[in-house]
C-alpha cells in the first residue's frame, strides 16, 4: 500500500505507443522459495532481489502505463507477489481484470471476483524437491484455511517438467476434492542451451505427456482447465507453427512483460523482457500453455464442450 509521505520518483520507461490489452508485472524480485525450474531468476533477466521502486511510484507508473497502452488485464507476479500484498491489492483496483500468481505459502489472498493461481508442481513427493521441503502441506493448509465463501476464484497450476511429469495423474487425484475452481497445467519453458535436464530434448517425448493431460481432461472435464484444441497444438508436429524458432509466431509477445530493473538512478525501473518468460528462452521448445491457448482461441470456429478461457 502507498505509504503516507512516499513520493513518486519518476515516470515509467518508454515502451512505445502501441496498445497492450494484457500485461504482467513483477511487483517484487524477492521470493521465499528457490524453485528448480524458475525462469525469473535466470541470469539474463532484470531480477536483482532488492525492491527499489516504492509503492507510490509503482502505483503511479502502472496507472500511467495502463492509460498509455490501454492495458485492461494485469497479471501480478514476482518473485512472490504476496510479499507486497498491500501494494498488489491497491494496484489491482487500477485494472478491469486482475489475476495473482502466487506460491501460496503466505496464505491465499481474498480478492472477490478475481482469480488467484496457486502454484504446486505435483503431489508432495514430486512438488517438494522442486518447490522446497514442506511447501505442499503449507499450500494445502492455505487452500483449506481460507474463507471459502469470499468469492475468490482459486486455481492450482502445475508446471510440468521431466522431473514431475510422472505425477500428473496422482496430483489430480490428490487435489480433486480440494476447494478449488480447477487445475491448470503448463509445460516447462527452457532457456537456450538448457542443461538442467528438466526439459524434453525431443518434443515427441513431450507428446506422450500432452496425451496424458488430454486423458485427464476427458476424465475430469470441468476440473481440468485446458482446451483440448490448445493441447493438440502443443504436439511436436505442429507446435512450431504457434511458437516459431524465435518467437516469431507467438501471440504471447502481444503481452507487455514488466520486469523490475535497477533503473539509472538505482530507484527501480520497469524493463520489457523478450517475453513474459524473460530474456533467455528457447521458443522452439516452449511449453507455455497460454501460447497455444491464445492461438487456439484465435483459430477456433466455435467453443467446444469443456473449453475454458
Ligand atoms: C514465476 S512464478 C511467479 C509467481 C509465484 N512466485 C509462483 O510461484 O506462482 C509464476 C509461474 O511460473 C511457473 N514457472 C516458473 N518457471 C517456469 C518455467 N521455466 N516454465 C514454465 N513455468 C514456469 C511457476 O511454476 C508459476 O506457476
Ligand atoms: S515461488 Fe515462483 S518466483 Fe519464487 S522461485 Fe518459485 S516459481 Fe520462481
Ligand atoms: S518462450 Fe514461449 S512465450 Fe516466450 S516468446 Fe517464445 S514461444 Fe512465446
For ligand 2, what atom is nearest to the CA of residue 103? 1
| Residues in the chain, total | 309
Give dist(CA 240, CA 249) in Å, integer.
Answer: 8
Position 216 scores a pLDDT of 98
Band (pLDDT 50/70/90 cuts) for residue 295 is very high
Q: How confident is the model at residue 5 (pLDDT cuts 50, 70, 90)?
A: low
- 198 contacts 37 by C-beta, under 8 angstroms: yes
Q: Which atom of ligand 3 is nearest to the CA of 290?
A: 3
What's the rounded Cα separation, in Å, for the pair 165 and 209? 7
CB 189 near ligand 1, within 6 Å: yes
| H/E element, 183 | strand 182-187
Bridge-based pairing state of the strands 256-261 and 269-272: antiparallel
Tell me if 271 CB under 6 Å of ligand 2.
Answer: no
Domain ranges of the chain: 22-299
- Tell me if 78 CB under 6 Å of ligand 2: yes
* pLDDT score at 267: 85
Alpha carbon nearest to ligand 3 atom 6, residue: 283
Task: Report which ligand 3 atom has the smallest distance to the Cα of 283.
Answer: 6
| d(C-alpha 144, C-alpha 123), whole Å | 16
Q: How far is the C-alpha of 226 from the C-alpha of 74, rounded, in Å? A: 21
C-beta of residue 191 within 8 angstroms of C-beta of residue 280: yes
Q: What percent of the chain has pLDDT over 90?
A: 89
Q: How many helices (H) and strands (E) does the chain have?
A: 9, 8
Nearest Cα to 22, choosing from 99, 108, 116? 99
pLDDT in tens, 235-261: 999 999 999 999 999 999 999 999 999
Q: Do 184 and 144 touch, CB atoms closer than 8 A?
A: no
pTM of the model: 0.95
pLDDT in tens, 139-156: 999 999 999 999 999 999
- Strand (E) or helix (H) holding 228: helix 228-232
27 lines ligand 2 (CB under 6 A): no
Q: Is 77 in the pocket of ligand 1 (CB under 6 A)?
A: yes
What distance in angstroms lies between residue 150's CA and the mean position of ligand 3's atoms? 35
Q: Pairing between strand 97-102 and 269-272?
A: unpaired
Helix (H, G, I), strand (E, B) or coil at 141: helix
Ligand nearest to the CA of 101: 1
CB of 79 within 6 A of ligand 2: the answer is yes
**How far away, in angstroms, is 146 Cα from ligand 2 center?**
22
Read off the pLDDT band of 302 (50, 70, 90): low
CA 42 to centroid of ligand 2, rounded, Å: 12
Please tell me the residue having the least CA distance from ligand 1 atom 21: 188
Question: Quick one: which ligand is closest to 82's CA?
Answer: 1
CATH of domain 22-299: 3.20.20.70
Using a 6 Å cutoff on CB, does residue 278 contact ligand 2?
no
Which own/partner pairs from 59-66 qualify as long-range (CB within 8 Å, at least 24 positions apart)? 59/2, 59/87, 59/90, 59/91, 59/94, 60/8, 61/8, 61/11, 61/12, 61/270, 62/25, 62/91, 62/94, 63/94, 64/11, 64/12, 65/12, 65/15, 65/23, 65/256, 65/258, 65/270, 66/94, 66/95
- Reported as a single tens digit per residue, the pLDDT across 114-127 is 999 999 999 999 99
Counting ligands in written order, which one lies closest to the CA of residue 255? 3
CB 168 near ligand 1, within 6 Å: no
Amino acid at each position: 500500500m502507498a505509504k503516507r509521505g512516499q513520493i513518486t520518483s519518476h515516470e515509467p520507461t518508454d515502451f512505445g505507443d502501441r496498445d497492450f490489452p494484457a500485461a504482467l508485472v513483477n511487483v517484487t524480485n524477492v521470493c521465499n522459495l528457490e524453485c528448480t525450474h524458475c525462469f525469473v531468476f535466470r541470469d539474463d533477466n532484470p531480477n536483482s532481489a532488492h525492491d527499489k521502486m516504492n509503492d507510490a511510484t509503482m502505483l503511479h507508473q502502472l496507472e500511467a502505463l495502463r492509460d498509455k497502452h490501454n492495458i485492461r488485464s494485469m497479471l501480478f507476479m514476482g518473485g512472490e507477489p504476496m510479499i507486497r500484498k498491500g501494494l498488489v491489492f491497491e494496484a489491482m483496483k487500477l485494472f478491469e481484470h486482475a489475476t495473482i500468481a502466487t506460491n501460496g505459502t503466505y496464505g491465499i489472498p481474498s480478492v472477490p471476483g478475481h482469480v488467484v493461481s496457486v502454484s504446486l508442481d505435483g503431489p508432495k513427493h514430486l512438488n517438494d524437491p522442486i518447490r522446497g521441503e514442506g511447501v505442499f502441506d503449507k499450500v494445502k493448509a492455505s487452500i483449506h484455511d481460507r474463507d471459502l465463501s469470499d468469492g475468490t476464484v482459486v486455481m492450482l497450476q502445475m508446471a510440468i517438467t521431466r522431473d514431475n511429469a510422472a505425477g500428473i495423474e496422482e496430483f489430480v487425484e490428490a487435489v480433486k476434492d480440494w476447494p478449488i475452481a480447477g487445475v491448470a497445467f503448463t509445460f516447462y519453458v527452457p532457456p537456450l542451451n538448457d542443461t538442467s535436464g528438466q526439459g524434453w530434448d525431443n518434443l515427441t517425448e513431450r507428446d506422450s505427456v500432452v496425451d496424458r493431460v488430454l486423458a485427464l481432461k476427458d476424465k475430469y472435464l470441468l476440473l481440468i482447465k485446458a482446451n483440448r484444441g490448445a493441447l493438440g497444438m502443443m504436439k511436436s508436429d505442429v507446435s512450431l507453427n504457434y511458437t516459431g524458432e524465435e518467437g516469431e509466431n507467438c501471440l504471447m509477445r502481444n503481452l507487455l512483460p514488466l520486469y523490475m530493473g535497477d533503473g539509472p538512478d538505482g530507484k527501480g525501473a520497469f524493463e520489457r523482457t523478450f517475453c513474459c518468460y524473460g530474456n533467455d528462452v528457447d521458443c522452439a521448445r516452449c511449453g507455455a500453455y497460454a501460447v497455444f491457448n491464445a492461438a487456439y482461441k484465435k483459430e477456433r470456429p466455435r467453443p467446444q464442450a469443456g473449453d475454458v478461457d
